[in-house]
Every structure is written in C-alpha cells, then in structure tokens.
Amino acid sequence: MSLTSDPPLARTPAEPEDYGALKVVPVRHPWRWAAVVVTAVLLAQFAHGLATNAGWEWEVFAEFFTAEVVLKAVWVTLQLTVYGTALGFALGIVLAFMRLSASPFLKAVAFAYIWAFRSIPLIVQLLFWFNLAYLYKELQFGIPFGPGFFSFDTMGLVGAMSAAVLGLALHQAAYAAEIVRGGVLSVDGGQLEAAAALGIPRLRQIRRIVLPQAMRSILPNAANEVISLFKGTSIVSVMAIGELFYQVQVIYGRNGRVVPLLMVATAWYILLTTALSVIQHYVERHFAKGSTR
C-alpha cells in the first residue's frame, strides 16, 4: 500500500474501541532469564567449591575463628580503628576550619599539612614514627625555645602501639579535613547569614546550624574512611603490633595452614565492616531529619 493513496472510501469511522477491556501482554525478557541462569550456575559452583574443597580446611577455620589469641588481635584492631578515627577526625575538623578561616597563614599551614600527609605513603610514615627515637632522643614540655619543665624518653613514650595510632591518626586527619571542609561548603551560605542576622553566637552557629547540615554530605565519605582505616590497620603489621592480620600471619607461620587462617581474618573484617555499615545507616537517618531525600 502506498502512503500517498487516499483512504479507502468504503470504511466508515469506527466506533471508539474500549481498550480497557483488552488483555495486556507484558514484554518478555528471554535474555534476562538466560543471564539469571548463568549467574546462578556460577554461584552454585562457587558454593559447592567452598563446601567440598578440602583445601579450605573449615575445621581449622572454626578452631581459630574464636581462639583467644585471635579475639585479642581483633580487639587491638578495633582499638587502632577507634583511636585513629577519633584523633584523626578531631584534628581533621581543626584543619578544615583552618582552611576555611580568613587568615592566609592558617590557611597555608592547613593546606601544607594536607598536602604533606596525603603525599607520604602511610607505610613510610608509620616506619618514620616507629623510628622517632632515632631523630629525637627525648621529648620536652616547656616554653618554646626556652627552658623545659618535663622531659620524656622518646623510646618509652612512643611505643609501637602509640606510634601506630599517631601515624594512622595523622594520615587520617588529612583526609578527614577535606571531607569536613567539603561538608561545610555544601551548606547554603544563606544559612550562616540567617544565623548571623539572628545574632546567634558564632560557635553555636557552627554546632547547631552548620555541622548538622554538613553531616549529610560528610557521613557517607566519613563512613568510607572509617571502613578503609579499619582494614588499613592491617598495614601496621609491619611494626610487629599484634593486630588481626599480624596475628594471623604469626599463626600460619607456625602451623602452615595459610588459607583457613586468611579466611579467619577475612571473616572478621567482613563481620565488623557489616556492623559499621549498619551503624552508618542509623546515623545517616538521624541527620536526615527535615529533608525530603
């Protein structure tokens, strides 16, 4: 039929049809089903392998998963994470507000700090802290460039554990500073202006008006950082600190059961990361008050 031909004259205008009474046939997706089958087969193979391959040595895994020495190591890992996060974010908040301040000097110092600590690999930095006593034999509190009041032997003060916490925290602070700064910048300028116009005291403006709103964009990034720090604590195994990964290495060094012991560490990391994700969900919900998305 040609498109240019006249409409057939014989056809009378049809009654408007009632489409609502017709049966609806949904579009079929055969390839989607094929993909589901392939994926399911691969998953089944993987699960079958986990269950049947004797190399996983699940009985060894079970023996060590809750062994006292492993639980202690998990505790050390958690401590490193908590102290690293708390100190790191405390310093990070200070650095963020230094970068946001009107003083070019404070801005430059904060910028230089962030630049330096983001440039140095964490492992290099940790080894520096570990060897601090080589540079400074003793640390002294007193008047800058003047007489001192107390002094400490550096070796005694900066033990391996505190060197590790210090290293993790200083490293974390550089990243935390940028995350907090990003969050503060995401708050509409009109908010501070309104708070200033109402005469709300400066600290209260930050704590009550800016930070709660900044938290919405800080939290997802901060949670990323905490989780990555949590797993990153495994790097301090280079300093012979008995955290989870170091302890697992010690054990398989003795008994040669590498794979099940790596699975012990893996399972703990997954378990605790899951817990952190759950906490993140609830904290985010708290700060979402008054928002529509």
Partner 1 sequence: MSAPMVDVRSVHKSFGALEVLKGVDLQVRAGEVTVVLGPSGSGKSTLLRTINHLEKVDQGWISVDGALVGYRRSGDKLYELREREILKQRTRIGFVFQNFNLFPHLTVLENIVEAPVSALKRPRKEATEAARGLLDRVGLADKAGAYPKQLSGGQQQRVAIARALALEPRLLLFDEPTSALDPELVGEVLDVIKDLAHQGTTMIVVTHEIGFAREVADTVVFMDDGRVVEQGSPGDVLDAPRHERTRAFLSKVL
Task: Say whether residue 100 binds partner 1 (CB under 8 A).
Answer: no
Q: Where are the strands (E) in 126-169, listed by range?
A: 138-142, 148-153
Phi and psi at 151, nearest 5°, equal: -135, 150
Three-class DSSP category at 29: coil
Nearer to partner 1, 138 or 193 (CB): 193
Q: What distance lies between CA 248 and its chain's CA centroid?
A: 23
Task: Say whether residue 103 binds partner 1 (CB under 8 A).
Answer: no
Name the one range near partner 1 by CB under 8 A: 76-84, 148-156, 202-210, 253-261: 202-210
Of 25, 26, 198, 285, the residue at the interface with partner 1 (CB under 8 A) is 198
Nearer to partner 1, 200 or 258 (CB): 200
Nearer to partner 1, 11 or 289 (CB): 289
Task: Say whether residue 200 binds partner 1 (CB under 8 A).
Answer: yes
Q: How far apart are CA 126 and CA 243, in angstroms?
A: 15
Phi and psi at 292, nearest 5°, equal: -100, -5
Task: Say whether residue 201 binds partner 1 (CB under 8 A).
Answer: yes
Give least dist CB 192 to partner 1, A: 9
Span 211-230, contacts to partner 1 by CB under 8 A: 212-213
Span 172-191, contacts to partner 1 by CB under 8 A: 188, 190-191
Task: Say whether residue 291 binds partner 1 (CB under 8 A).
Answer: yes
Give least dist CB 287 to partner 1, A: 8
Query: The dihedral of CA 102, 179, 211, 173: what is its sign?
Result: negative
Name the one range near partner 1 by CB under 8 A: 2-10, 17-25, 156-164, 207-215: 207-215
Task: Say whether residue 4 binds partner 1 (CB under 8 A).
Answer: no
Task: Say whether residue 25 binds partner 1 (CB under 8 A).
Answer: no
Of 29, 48, 137, 208, the residue at the interface with partner 1 (CB under 8 A) is 208
Give least dist CB 189 to partner 1, A: 9
Task: Say whether residue 199 binds partner 1 (CB under 8 A).
Answer: yes
Instruction: Give CB contacts under 8 A, 24+ apart, made by 181-184.
Output: 181/96, 181/99, 181/100, 182/217, 182/218, 182/221, 183/214, 183/215, 183/216, 183/217, 183/218, 183/221, 184/96, 184/97, 184/100, 184/210, 184/211, 184/214
Give least dist CB 179 to partner 1, A: 19
Question: 40: which strand partners?
Answer: none
Task: Say whether residue 209 binds partner 1 (CB under 8 A).
Answer: yes
Q: By the criterion CB under 8 A, which residues form the site for partner 1?
A: 188, 190-191, 193-202, 204, 208-209, 212-213, 287, 289-292
